[in-house]
Structure 1
Amino acid sequence: MTVTCFIRYQIDPFQREAFKRYAETWGRIIPRCGGNLIGYFLPHEGSNDVAWGLIGFDDMAAYERYRSVLKDDADGRSNFELAQSLRFILREERTWLEDVGATRDVARQVTP
């Protein structure tokens, strides 16, 4: 069973660029530590203080292995410390979702 960690962030809207840099840094760290980075998403229209991150794993055991590797990753620790020092993340919530495989990454069939 493939699972996705859906992370909802409440961010300081005046520090949007700091969160963007934080997310881009995870783009290098997460795959290296064993996670399948689906992506980070910034607010575009509507609410200006909610962002999301989605990370996939083969199963919860793969997530536990990822956490163990991440704990020892110097860049990962540094990125966490950056977020804490600049305080651009006001709140973080995690939800675990089971992927419906037949619906994942289905390309559009209509060409623009």
Structure 2
Amino acid sequence: MITCFLKYEIDPAKVADFEIYAKAWIHNVTRMGGTHHGYWLPSEGPSDLAWCAFSFPLLAAYEAYRTEMATDPACIATYAHAERTQCIRRYDRHFTRPVLEGESPAGLGLM
């Protein structure tokens, strides 16, 4: 599994516009075979940061998604919304692999 983790710097006056963008991407990624883990929008603390994470089973599946989204009408409309509203100032994309199951310290040889 490969997980894409994004950190956004957003316009604090346009959180509602960013939330529309977020909801559309959750739908788009899911429709295109990925698993979206959600968006986290400002609540307390800095009001200009947001995050999201989504996964694909393999890097090849993510690459197929990236190719398909370039011509997908819903994806194009979602990007156009962000550009029109200028709700996103910048973003950083990171690729990670999740650790989703815990194990006891003894089982890990820590004790």
> Which TM-score applies when normalising by structure 1?
0.85
**How much does 1:101 deviate?**
3.5
Matched, 1:85 2:84: yes
| Structure (1 or 2) with the greater helix fraction | 1
* Residue segments in structure 1 that go unaligned for 5+ positions in a row: 104-112
5 Å-filtered alignment, 1:1-112, equals: 2-103=1-102
**How much does 1:27 deviate?**
2.0
Residue identity over aligned pairs, in percent, reads 35
> Which TM-score applies when normalising by structure 2?
0.86
- Deviation per CA, 1:20-58, whole angstroms, max 9, x where unpaired? 111111122111112211111101111100001111111
Where 1:72 maps in the other structure, the secondary structure is: coil
Aligned-CA RMSD value: 1.1
Deviating beyond 2 angstroms after TM superposition, the runs of 4 or more aligned structure 1 residues are none
- Using the alignment, how far apart are the partners of 2:6 and 2:21 within structure 1? 14
- Using the alignment, how far apart are the partners of 1:27 and 1:54 within structure 2? 10
Where 1:102 maps in the other structure, the secondary structure is: coil
- Deviation per CA, 1:55-111, whole angstroms, max 9, x where unpaired? 1111211100111221221011011011111111001100111111425xxxxxxxx
Bigger Cα Rg? 2
For these two proteins, the number of residue pairs brought into alignment is: 102
* Residue segments in structure 2 that go unaligned for 5+ positions in a row: 103-111
- Using the alignment, how far apart are the partners of 1:34 and 1:45 within structure 2? 33
